[in-house]
């Protein structure tokens, strides 16, 4: 049998790129190691789903948590026509694990069983300066400790032993003032320019070295609630998910579709490759 780390690498960016390019060698190793678990003919999607099920039973890592959130919250509760999801979104000196944007912005900070809680208080402090709602997502292991660490506004979601998401404490709408400086550093240049234009109707005509400061000053002098509303609209436009691509992926790869920076042709190739059928003998020849 293969190690859980080897199984987890199936979902790595490098392996996804390889599969889009027709290199199935890592997937072939899975089939060879677990040959009795596969029919004579199968798809690569079957392999990904099989590996995700192993993660569910033996190794609920960060990828597993994020993919559950993508399936059960983004796609299970919201419409992709009015919502988007960001992964590893920079917030000050931290990166928010998952952020879902629609009419409100909700941050989901993940703490797996393999994580410690040393940085949690600092992370939550920064997230409360940027998002409308903040949740910590944990298993039973950290549940009690997290409940003693979080600010009053922060909610808790339990990833249960059955891999469902159970709201333990409801997050409150954050009423703190939006941190404009932090927001500016979280956005790309085209995003904060778009944000300023959406509010003021123009972008400052200054040099590239001055545009950040000019936009920041305008936002600092703007109604805070207006900035909060329009930055969500900005991210909905600039960070929208590829809906066709996402719907074409198996459930085990939804967060991969959200995170993917594959070009259009490579996305099409990935979809074609994972939904085509293969035999054990044909696939395993790629090992030799």
Q: What is the 3-state secondary structure (H, E, C) of 121-151?
A: HHHHHHHCCCCCEEEEEECHHHHHHHHHHCC
Q: Strands 94-101 and 105-111, how do they pair?
A: antiparallel
* DSSP for residue 282: H
What are the tens digits of pLDDT across the range 4-23? 999 999 999 999 999 999 99
Rounded to an integer, what distance in angstroms lies between the CA atom of residue 51 and that of residue 30?
A: 8
**What's the pLDDT at 2?**
86
Instruction: Evaluate if residue 42 carries a pLDDT over 70.
Output: yes
Count of residues in the chain: 288
Instruction: Evaluate if residue 288 carries a pLDDT over 50.
Output: no
**What's the pLDDT at 99?**
98
Instruction: Evaluate if residue 199 carries a pLDDT over 90.
Output: yes
What are the tens digits of pLDDT across the range 226-263? 999 999 999 999 999 999 999 999 999 999 999 999 99
Instruction: Evaluate if residue 285 carries a pLDDT over 80.
Output: no
């Amino acid at each position: 049998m293969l190690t859980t780390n080897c199984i987890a690498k199936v979902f790595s960016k490098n392996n996804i790129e390889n599969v889009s390019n027709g290199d199935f060698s890592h997937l072939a190793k899975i089939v060879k190691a677990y040959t009795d678990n596969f029919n004579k003919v199968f798809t690569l999607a079957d392999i990904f789903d099989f590996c995700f099920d192993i993660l569910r039973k033996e190794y609920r890592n960060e990828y597993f948590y994020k993919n559950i959130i993508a399936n059960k919250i983004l796609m299970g509760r919201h419409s992709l026509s009015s919502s988007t999801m960001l992964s590893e979104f920079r917030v000050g000196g931290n990166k928010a694990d998952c952020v879902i944007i629609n009419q409100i912005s909700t941050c989901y900070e993940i703490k797996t069983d393999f994580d410690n809680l040393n940085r949690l208080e600092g992370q939550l402090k920064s997230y409360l300066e940027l998002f409308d709602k903040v949740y910590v997502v944990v298993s039973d292991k950290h549940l009690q400790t997290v409940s003693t660490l979080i600010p009053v506004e922060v909610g808790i979601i339990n990833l249960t032993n059955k891999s469902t998401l159970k709201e333990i404490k409801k997050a409150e709408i954050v009423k703190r003032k939006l941190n404009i400086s932090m927001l500016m550093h979280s956005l790309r240049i085209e995003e904060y320019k778009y944000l300023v234009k959406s509010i003021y109707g123009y972008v400052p005509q200054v040099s590239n070295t001055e545009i950040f400061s000019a936009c920041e000053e305008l936002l600092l002098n703007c109604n805070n609630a207006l900035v909060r509303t329009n930055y969500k609209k900005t991210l909905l436009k600039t960070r929208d998910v590829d809906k066709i691509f996402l719907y074409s992926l198996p459930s085990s790869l939804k967060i991969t579709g959200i995170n993917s920076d594959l070009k259009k042709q490579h996305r099409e190739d990935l979809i074609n490759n994972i939904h085509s059928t293969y035999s054990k003998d044909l696939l395993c020849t790629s090992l030799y």
